[in-house]
Structure formats: structure tokens, C-alpha cells
Structure 1
């Protein structure tokens, strides 16, 4: 026998995705519990049983997508050369920012940061911690590139990481405004070339990081 109030077809991953889509489109305060239960096909008691509260469901959705971005960082930071690190990070993130809307919404991270509600403090704290961890890992990678001689010793790993993080956040915000994937990839390519052009010499500067296809 299924749990009381919970439909037999309940799928937690699908439920989180549907909730995330609503939160992304309407904002936290603009999304009612009634809309959530309707979209998820669950009763109010089932929703509370599964997720605790609307605020906890929001935090769960935010955590789910923050984890996806962290995996993109991990994959990019494993690239052997800095141009590939920056290009892979920005390209991978843009692909995540601009999915088929039937799969999941746009960037939940930027959306969550913009929400000013006491109920969402846990979600905001989660975003801040995740962003800080990603930035620290990126800075560490730049330090390694300096130590290995790929970047000059005069390069500031922190300033470079801050720049890439700022570019990342700008791309995320632009995606939420409806800027297309192609436009975002072009912006990212320019940003990556600026970074590499400032940090490399002659031939490398002319070549720049790999172009997207």
C-alpha cells in the first residue's frame, strides 16, 4: 500500500525538478503551496511529509542544482591547461544554464541569491558556501599553474579567480534574462580570450584558448 496522501507515481527527482521550475519562474514568495502540490501531483500532507516545508523543498531544489555546478567545476579543473580550464568551466556552465525547459529550469543559483526572505536563509547560505568552495578550488588551480610556470609569477591567482567567478555569475544572470546559448557562448569565448591574452605572450596570445563549436 502506498504512503497516505502520496500518489503511487511519486518520483522525488521529478518532484524536485517541477518545484525548481516553479520557483525559478515565479520566485519563492510568488509560488504558493497549492501551486506546488498541483505541479507535483501531491497532497499538502504528502509534500510536507516528503520535504518538510515549502522552504525545505526550495533548499532541496537549490542544493540539487548547486551540486550540478560543483561537478562542472570539478570536471573543468581537471583539464591540464589553464585555457582549457576556463573554457570548459564557462562552456559547461552555459550548457547547464540553457537547458531544454522540459528538463529543468535555468540557473537556480542566481535566482536563489536574489530572493530576500527569512524563510530562504538556509538556501542562501548553501549557495554562498558552494560558491565559496568553487572559487577556492579555482584559485587553487591558478596557484598550481603559477607554480608550474604556465602563468607568470606576477599573476594574482585570487584576482584571476575573482574575475572568472564574476564572469560566471554574469553569464548566469544573462541566461535568466533570456539571452540565448549561442550569445552566451560568444561572450564566454571573449572572456576566456581576454584572460589568456593578458596572461600569455606572443604566439599563445594570438592563438588564445580553444574556440567553441
Structure 2
């Protein structure tokens, strides 16, 4: 069998290849995912995989960044809302929708997957996720501080504590999604948390 027949031509579905690779990496980690398993899942020959992504490590890095950066974008879009209560609601509910995307188009939440126990020479996953979460923390903290300055929140509001609480709820929703919780249940939990936060904020501004 020739190389051309064994592997797909260069014009393949890159998004689909990244999705299939992500499913393997999320379940097995980087070290536990062999190049052979990747080529089988992607329908590529080894040479085609290397031509497309440079290496197994290059493919791993692209899959992690592709899906992780979606969370950063959720925060960036949410903090553009005028009302801080809407900001918090969007962060929680939009993230749930991201965690629970249909399996045919999404590999699942990577935050507590096997990826977190593994790394490569090109991407330190722990450092990368620490930076990602730190960035999201700072984006939200800055928006809460602005809400205090604008009078949406009481002057005595502890911005760091509120940020930490929202982020704790976010991580809990992520963990439950990985345990198989249904989207409807997670949305209900996110809305309840949002309602409790808003109730607390209302009592501090009255």
C-alpha cells in the first residue's frame, strides 16, 4: 500500500482531527496516547500527521490551546456586559454550555481531565492552565472593582472574595460536568449560585 493511499491528502478536516486528538489526550494524557493511536483516530499516516502538526507534541499543544482558549473568550465577552450581575451570570451559564457541548463537536471539559497530569517538552500544561485561570481571575477581579467604583456594588464589597467565590463555583461546575452531570442540572446550579450571589450583593448595597 503506498503512502498516498494510506494517508489522507493534505487538505483534510483540521478541526475534526483536533477534536479526535483531544478526545484521546483528555482520556489518556500525553504520555498515554501513542502516535499509532492518533494516526488511527485521525485517519492519517504518521508522515501526514507530522506534516500537519509538526509532531505529536505540536498536535497536543494545538488541541489544548484550541479548547482552553474558549474559556478565556467566555470571560472576555462576559465582562463587556454593563451590569455586574449579568457578567457573573454569563460567566457561569456560558461556561456550563461550553462544558456540556455535544460530544460529536466537543471532547469535554479538559480542566480535570488526564491532560492535567501530563505535559510535553513544548507545553507545560500546569503552567499554561495556571496562567489561563490567573488571567480569568484578573479579568473578573478588574470588572468587579470597576463595578464598585461605578456604584453598582457597595464600596465595602470585597472584590477578591467575590472573585474567588465565583471562580470556586466555576470549578465545581467543571468538575461535575466531567462526572457526567446533565447540562440542565448544571444550569440550575449555576442559576441558583447566581441568585444567591445577587441576593448577597443586594443586601450589601441596601
TM-score, scaled to structure 2: 0.88
1:135 is aligned to 2:137:
yes
2:151 to 149, 159, 162: 149
1:176 is aligned to 2:178:
yes
Higher relative contact order (CA 8 A, sep 6+): 2
Deviations 1:30-61 (A, max 9, x none): 32211110111111222223223323322211
| Alignment check: 8 A CA contact 2:99 2:108 kept | yes
Stretches of 4+ aligned residues off by more than 4 angstroms: 3-6, 117-121
Provide the rounded CA distance (Å) in 2 between the counterparts of 1:160 and 1:170.
15
Provide the rounded CA distance (Å) in 1 between the counterparts of 2:115 and 2:122.
9
Deviates more, 1:42-51 or 1:134-143: 42-51
3-state SS, counterpart of residue 154 of structure 2: coil
Q: Runs of 5+ in structure 2 lacking a partner? A: none
Q: 1:54 aligns to what?
A: 56
The Cα shift of 1:104 comes to: 1.2
The Cα shift of 1:148 comes to: 0.7
TM-score, scaled to structure 1: 0.85
Q: How does 1:1-213 map to 2 (within 5 A)?
A: 7-8=8-9, 9-111=11-113, 114-117=116-119, 119=121, 121-201=123-203
| Alignment check: 8 A CA contact 1:171 1:184 kept | yes
Q: CA RMSD in A?
A: 2.3
Identify if the C-alpha distance between structure 1 residues 70 and 117 changes in structure 2 by more than 3 Å, giving closer, same or farther. Answer: closer
Q: Runs of 5+ in structure 1 lacking a partner? A: 206-213
Deviates more, 1:41-50 or 1:138-147: 41-50
Deviations 1:3-31 (A, max 9, x none): 97751252222211111112223333332
